[in-house]
């Protein structure tokens, strides 16, 4: 058995090397060691080998330019501007402005690590002993479906591969999107009962499968641009209703309980990706967001890079008594973690100043953002010392998400809308001292958004220079967004949780027939003017490396 395990690990290592060259080429016959007969597998053996499948989800999410970035950087909540005097990569500017191209690194990370995870799952599922183990095969199929869900959301036109037993020279082709959608749904429906209902941190159970199914159904009409039927909202409603009624989950008493370094004790977590600062580190937000000397405010002894910050227009939407605001954003004067003294630092052309994060930001790239501009994302716990956020578990699905999906389906179906409002209110209540401030009505949720959409940038130079003559602005507002109030609530609750891009695509703008993702402007990103062109931006281009590595691959339309 020890010899077998060594060969398996060696084969997987070779697979990773090949996947980095062209991860759509799953044809290499490098696993002939696994064709040996009379090998007996124990549950422990299968569990250990399955670790390769789980591990790549960590890379998919937090590999450089991973799922967090791809969902947030192109949204109206978070951005990474060019920092005057520091600089950041043009890819972040392109992501913000929706000037997508096939050489942006975000599109490589998601594709590469997702298909690596799928390849591991396929190889294990080719083994007869695993096929005959209902629980283990169900978990692998569920994880494979999760990878395909991520890929489908981002690219739509993707290869659908379910085995590694392929002829030499085989190259994948892209499946029709409907075929891929149907496969993901059928896989999850087939395995969800075999997954069981036990809560095992970091492992899929029945309710994890139901969350993926609910996401597939909820987004179906937007993904296929077909709003002729409410069938899929009914299906999503059924999935999340089972989770809410029977899953055994409950809202955590405090909002921040879901974003601590260790969230294994939160009763709200349906599925998490476990991280560990020493053994499985990845979350680099502490460095990407904070200004260097600002690390002292959290007792972090690393050297932050001063990158990402909030879109100012989003900050203006928060209720003044919403505790999620201070729990999510570092703003204003920063204080030393140990002494409580106000922090000071050298910044821009001002010399030594108080370390005060300002809400206003000049622009994404013209001239960019000055050192202390923009509120900083601190929703994930920053652990003092060397760890920062690097060991923070990822709350991939949580009960609040299921409750929001149920509320959205009820609102879109026009049924039990008071119950929908009650669900959103229940989630909000833990974030307001005054329960009246937490109340959301049907009118609130079905009305327009309070987000002040429009292009807003200051082209004047100098950290304190906001010359009115340099303001480039359009004013679009959010009154014409269908269910805009619910879209606002989604932002306040789930900012920084790989939500926003998907949500913006799902919500429609009544005045121009486009979705919010394409049909609205914010900060330095302009709305599309042509609905036909706009639809093409709902999915990303496939990275050029994977197009060049497989003659069967066809680039997504518009790229």
The pLDDT score that the predictor gives to residue 9 is 41
> Which has more pLDDT, 377 or 30?
377
Per DSSP, the three-state class of 19 is helix
| Token pair for 246 | 């029977």
Name the residue among 359, 364, 22 with its Cα closest to residue 170: 22
Q: How far is CA 119 from CA 84, 112, 148, in A?
A: 42, 11, 11
Percent of the chain with pLDDT over 90: 88
Report the alpha-carbon distance of residue 4 to residue 530 in Å, rounded.
58
Question: pLDDT tens, 260-314?
Answer: 999 999 999 999 999 999 999 999 999 999 999 999 999 999 999 999 999 999 9
| Token pair for 303 | 């050297």
Instruction: Let me know if residue 331 belongs to a domain.
Output: yes
Name the residue among 537, 536, 538, 522 with its Cα closest to residue 96: 522
Instruction: Let me know if residue 426 belongs to a domain.
Output: no
- R_g of the chain computed on alpha carbons: 24
What number is the average pLDDT over the span 14-24? 38
Q: How many domains, in total, are found in the chain?
A: 1
Q: Is 382:287 a contact under the CB 8 Å cutoff?
A: no
Q: Is the dihedral of CA 371, 372, 373, 374 positive or negative?
A: positive
What number is the average pLDDT over the span 18-44? 47
Instruction: Let me know if residue 318 belongs to a domain.
Output: yes
Helix then strand then coil, in percent of the chain rounded to 5, is 45, 10, 45
The pLDDT score that the predictor gives to residue 16 is 38
The pLDDT score that the predictor gives to residue 403 is 99
Report the alpha-carbon distance of residue 22 to residue 204 in Å, rounded.
28
Structural domain containing residue 374: 285-395
Answer whether residue 27 shows pLDDT above 70.
no
DSSP assignment of 151-178 equals HHHHHSS-B----S---TT----BPPHH
Answer whether residue 12 shows pLDDT above 60.
no
Instruction: Let me know if residue 361 belongs to a domain.
Output: yes
Name the residue among 325, 324, 372 with its Cα closest to residue 351: 372
Instruction: Let me know if residue 453 belongs to a domain.
Output: no
Which H helix or E strand runs over 459? none
Q: How far is CA 133 from CA 32, 94, 207, in A?
A: 22, 46, 20
- Place 37 in a pLDDT band, splitting at 50, 70 and 90: low
Per DSSP, the three-state class of 209 is helix
Answer whether residue 173 shows pLDDT above 90.
yes
What number is the average pLDDT over the span 78-89? 91
Q: Helix/strand/coil (H, E, C) string of 498-530?
A: CCHHHHHHHCEECCCCCEHHHHCCEECECCCCC
What number is the average pLDDT over the span 515-539? 96
Per DSSP, the three-state class of 344 is strand
Q: How far is CA 157 from CA 28, 113, 301, in A?
A: 23, 17, 44
Q: ∠ CA 159-282-105 to the nearest 5 degrees?
A: 45
Torsion of CA 399, 401, 404, 408, to 10 degrees: -130
Answer whether residue 21 shows pLDDT above 50.
no
Q: Longest Cα pair distance anywhere in the chain, in angstroms?
A: 79
Question: pLDDT tens, 451-508?
Answer: 999 999 999 999 999 999 999 999 999 999 999 999 999 999 999 999 999 999 999 9
What number is the average pLDDT over the span 79-85? 94
Percent of the chain with pLDDT over 70: 93
pTM for this structure? 0.93
Q: Name residues whose C-beta falls within 8 Å of residue 44's C-beta, 6 or more positions apart in sequence.
A: none
Answer whether residue 181 shows pLDDT above 50.
yes
What number is the average pLDDT over the span 233-259? 98
Instruction: Let me know if residue 319 belongs to a domain.
Output: yes
Q: Is 462:349 a contact under the CB 8 Å cutoff?
A: yes
- Place 42 in a pLDDT band, splitting at 50, 70 and 90: confident
Instruction: Let me know if residue 450 belongs to a domain.
Output: no
Answer whether residue 118 shows pLDDT above 80.
yes
Residue 330 pairs in a beta bridge with 376
What number is the average pLDDT over the span 346-354? 86
The pLDDT score that the predictor gives to residue 32 is 43
Instruction: Give the up-direction half-sphere exposure of residue 465: CA atoms within 13 A in the CB hemisphere.
Output: 11
Helices (H), 363-477: 399-413, 417-429, 435-438, 442-446
The pLDDT score that the predictor gives to residue 39 is 57
Instruction: Let me know if residue 334 belongs to a domain.
Output: yes
Instruction: Tell me the pLDDT of the chain averaged across its residues.
Output: 92
First to last CA, the chain: 49
| Token pair for 93 | 């500017």
The pLDDT score that the predictor gives to residue 111 is 98
Cβ neighbour number for residue 342 with a 10 Å cutoff: 12
């Amino acid at each position: 058995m020890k010899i077998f395990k060594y060969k398996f690990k060696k084969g997987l290592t070779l697979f990773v090397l090949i996947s980095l060259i062209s991860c759509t080429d799953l044809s290499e016959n490098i696993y002939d060691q696994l064709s040996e007969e009379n090998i007996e597998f124990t549950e422990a053996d299968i569990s250990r080998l399955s670790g390769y499948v789980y591990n790549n989800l960590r890379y998919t999410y937090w590999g450089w330019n991973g799922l967090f970035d791809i969902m947030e950087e192109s949204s109206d909540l978070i951005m990474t501007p060019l920092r005057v005097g520091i600089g950041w990569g043009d890819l972040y500017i392109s992501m913000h402005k929706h000037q997508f191209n096939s050489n942006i690194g975000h599109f490589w990370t998601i594709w590469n690590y997702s298909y690596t995870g799928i390849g591991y799952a396929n190889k294990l599922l080719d083994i007869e002993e695993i096929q005959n183990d209902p629980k283990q095969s169900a978990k692998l199929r569920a994880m494979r479906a999760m990878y395909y869900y991520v890929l489908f959301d981002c690219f739509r036109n993707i290869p659908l591969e379910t085995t590694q037993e392929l002829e030499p020279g085989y190259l994948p082709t892209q499946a029709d999107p409907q075929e891929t959608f149907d496969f993901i749904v059928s896989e999850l429906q087939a395995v969800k009962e075999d997954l069981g209902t036990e809560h095992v941190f970091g492992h899929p159970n029945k309710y994890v499968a139901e969350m993926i199914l609910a996401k597939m159904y909820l987004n179906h009409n937007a993904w296929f641009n077909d709003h002729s039927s409410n069938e899929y909202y009914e299906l999503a409603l059924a999935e999340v209703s089972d989770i809410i009624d029977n899953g055994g989950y409950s809202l955590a008493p405090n909002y921040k309980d879901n974003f601590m370094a260790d969230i294994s004790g939160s009763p709200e977590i349906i599925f998490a990706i476990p991280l560990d600062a020493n053994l499985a580190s990845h979350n680099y937000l502490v460095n990407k967001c904070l200004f260097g000397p600002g690390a002292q405010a959290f007792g972090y002894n690393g050297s932050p890079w001063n990158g990402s910050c909030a879109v100012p227009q989003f900050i203006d939407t928060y209720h003044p008594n919403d505790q999620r605001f201070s729990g999510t954003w570092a703003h204003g004067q920063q204080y030393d973690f140990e002494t409580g003294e106000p922090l000071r630092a050298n910044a821009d052309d001002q010399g030594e100043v108080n370390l005060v994060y300002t809400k206003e930001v000049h622009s994404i790239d013209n001239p960019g953002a000055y050192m202390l501009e923009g509120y900083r994302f601190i929703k994930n716990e920053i652990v003092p010392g060397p760890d920062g956020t690097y060991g923070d578990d990822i709350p991939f699905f949580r009960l609040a998400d299921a409750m929001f999906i149920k509320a959205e389906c009820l609102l879109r179906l026009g049924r039990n809308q008071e119950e929908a409002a009650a669900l959103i209110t229940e989630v909000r209540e833990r974030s307001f001292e005054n329960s009246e401030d937490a109340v959301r009505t049907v009118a609130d949720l079905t009305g327009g958004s309070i987000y002040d959409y429009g292009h807003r940038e200051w082209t004047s130079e100098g950290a304190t220079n906001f010359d009115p003559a340099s303001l480039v602005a359009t004013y679009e507002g959010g009154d014409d967004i269908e269910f805009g109030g619910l879209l606002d609530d989604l932002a306040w609750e789930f900012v920084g949780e790989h939500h926003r891009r998907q949500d913006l695509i799902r919500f429609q703008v009544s005045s121009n027939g486009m979705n919010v993702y394409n049909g609205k402007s914010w900060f330095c990103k302009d709305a599309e003017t042509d609905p036909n062109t706009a639809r093409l931006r709902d999915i990303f281009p496939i990275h050029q490396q994977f197009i060049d590595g497989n003659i069967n691959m066809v680039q997504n339309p518009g790229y």
